[in-house]
Amino acid sequence: MPAPPLMRCLVLICLLLAAAVADARVKSVYGAPAAEARTTAPATPEEIVPAAPAPAAAAKPLPPPPATPMTPMTPAPAAVDPDAPPPPPPAPPGLALDALEYQIVAAVLKQGLEPGQTHVVLAGTTVPGPGRLVKNAEEVAKVAKQLEVPPDLLDDWASRNAKPARLETGQALGVAYELIGFEDQRRLFSSADPAAGWAAFHHRYPHAPLLIRVSRAGFDAALTHALVYVEFECGAECGSGRLVTLLRTPGGGYAVKDGALIWMTSP
């Protein structure tokens, strides 16, 4: 038999109440549902207004330079070695020795140095002209006869030595050598005591027992004979000066033939 209308209404009310209670329980556990996303039409380019950039901070001006300029640092002076040799003097005026003359110097050193001597000091300028050695034509003939050389050889030697000439470094002399200029010689030997000058010389050149001075070399027309004046000095009372003659060898060099003693000092 169908339920009466009143009964159906009561059942419907009960169902609605039950649904409401269940919905309330769901909200209390999970929270309220998120709001629906609102759909908005995209803005057109005309509607987009760019944001104005933030103004840049003004740069601070640099401080002005100091009114008083800075004083540059002064470099410290270089240490001076009291034993260091003085700087070399400028090259003396005059001509330089030629290649043949250096062959003559090499031959004289080979003949005159002691065995094992490997270092010498040469005066950087040739000795004064031969006027102090050969005064006139008569003496020229006498010396030429004594040395057994052609007279034209002595004439050439005197002519070449009318003016001083300079020696140069880097020549093949068969031995290590240093050059000492005229001013350095004057400073070393300016003392009234010659022994003091030689002590200064040996202190400056400990490996060179000799100071050697040479003239320019003279030659005969055929370049067969040569003549040179040489001084070997080793102390206040030790030295000699000689005129040395040389002959050309088959190999093209020169060898000492003879010599004439001009002066000598001894203790």
Q: What is the pLDDT of residues 23-42, one digit of tens each?
A: 555 444 445 444 444 444 44
Cα separation, 60 vs 90, in Å, equals 61
In angstroms, the CA 133 to CA 227 distance is: 13
pLDDT above 90 covers what percent of the chain?
34
Residue 169, in any domain of the structure: yes
pLDDT band at 10 (very low <50, low <70, confident <90, very high): low
* Average pLDDT along the chain: 74
Look at residue 239 and tell me if it is in a domain: yes
Q: What is the count of structural domains for the chain?
A: 1
Range of the domain at 207: 99-265
Q: Is 260 left (phi over 0), alpha (psi -120 to 50) or beta?
A: beta
Calpha distance 186→254 (Å, rounded): 33
Cα 69 to chain centroid distance, Å, stands at: 35
What is the reported pLDDT for 199?
A: 92
Examine the pLDDT at 257 and tell me if it is beyond 70: yes
The answer to whether residue 90 is domain-embedded is: no
The residue type of 253 is: G
Q: Could you tell me which of 228, 220, 255 has the C-alpha nearest to residue 244?
A: 228
Mean pLDDT of 109-132: 86
Give a yes or no: residue 110 inside a domain.
Answer: yes
Let me know if residue 21 belongs to a domain. no
Residue 109 lies in a domain: yes
Q: Is 33 a domain residue? A: no
Is 162 part of any domain? yes
Q: Is 94 left (phi over 0), alpha (psi -120 to 50) or beta?
A: left
In this prediction, residues 148-176 reach a mean pLDDT of: 90
Using DSSP bridges, classify how beta strands 218-219 and 211-214 pair: parallel, antiparallel or unpaired: unpaired
Is residue 12 pLDDT above 50, yes or no? Answer: yes
Q: How far apart are CA 229 and CA 216, in angstroms?
A: 8
Give the pLDDT score at 41.
Answer: 45
DSSP conformation class of 46: G
One-letter amino acid of 251: G
Does residue 48 register a pLDDT over 80? Answer: no
What's the chain's length in residues?
A: 267
Q: Is there a contact between 243 and 144 (Cβ–Cβ < 8 Å)? A: no
